[in-house]
Structure 1
């Protein structure tokens, strides 16, 4: 049972815990979860787990990501302190992206989720196909 101070307004309790979420933190937490929960963010972070990558390497290793979306994702990850961008004074110029210590801690959480998605994608697609077939079948009756 969680202890509550009756003199204070009741903040929202995080499900399954005695931890409370102050109202002023809800927007910040939502913004962080929106960022790290974005599919491209997760794939960029996982792709960088083995070391720095150049832009073209990232684009090649992340199927389906557009140049615009990769640029935007990398910029956002830099702003959040999750990725570093190092430009080398060479000809031709070389730029590498790498994880920060902060994103390495995120990697511990993201990797199992990405692995789970990889292991179960066939089952999920089969379920989606069955659901779509039921929907089409119910409209045809």
Structure 2
């Protein structure tokens, strides 16, 4: 994956990151894009059709959901599987890289709680990824 293509194309934000930390840019881009974390979280339980994700997150328009799923696929975090049935069916699931990304996010969440800056009323844990494999 080249950082200069598609969704992860460098922007002004990337120019402010010290060169030795440029690997953070794609992570910052993904976690700061609206709905990305919500979509990834929905995929923790296994493959989902876009309509299943939309039922849980009704405020995501179909257009935005499709765009975000394509971006996550382009980043290598989700896999899109098309089924040759009528009507056509598509499901999205986390890739191995996507699961690794979730582990990273979980670590950041835990750090936020231990640092004392996270909302202490929110759940302290996220679903166990190994249980969903």
Superposition TM-score, scaled by structure 1 size: 0.59
Shift of 1:89: 0.5
- Alpha carbons of 1:111 and 1:59: their partners in 2 closer, same or farther (altered >3 Å)? farther
Shift of 1:75: 0.7
Q: Does 1:23 align with 2:23?
A: no
What do residues 80-118 of structure 1 show as CA deviations (whole Å, max 9, x unaligned)? 0001110000111111000000010112233573xx778
4+ long deviations beyond 6 Å: none
Cα RMSD for the two superposed structures: 2.8
Query: For the pair shown, which has the larger CA radius of gyration, 1 or 2?
Result: 1
**Residue in 2 aligned with 1:66?**
61
Q: Secondary structure at the match of 1:53?
A: coil
- Alpha carbons of 1:89 and 1:119: their partners in 2 closer, same or farther (altered >3 Å)? farther
Q: Which of the pair is proportionally richer in helix?
A: 1
Shift of 1:30: 2.1
Question: Using CA pairs below 8 Å that are at least 6 residues apart, which structure has the higher relative contact order?
Answer: 2
Mapping of 1:29-108 within 5 angstroms?
29-108=24-103
- Alpha carbons of 1:107 and 1:94: their partners in 2 closer, same or farther (altered >3 Å)? same
Superposition TM-score, scaled by structure 2 size: 0.62
Q: For residues 92 and 105 of structure 1, what CA distance do their matches in structure 2 show?
A: 33
Deviates more, 1:103-112 or 1:63-72: 103-112
How many residue pairs match? The answer is 99
Q: For residues 106 and 58 of structure 2, what CA distance do their matches in structure 1 show?
A: 17
- Alpha carbons of 1:118 and 1:71: their partners in 2 closer, same or farther (altered >3 Å)? farther
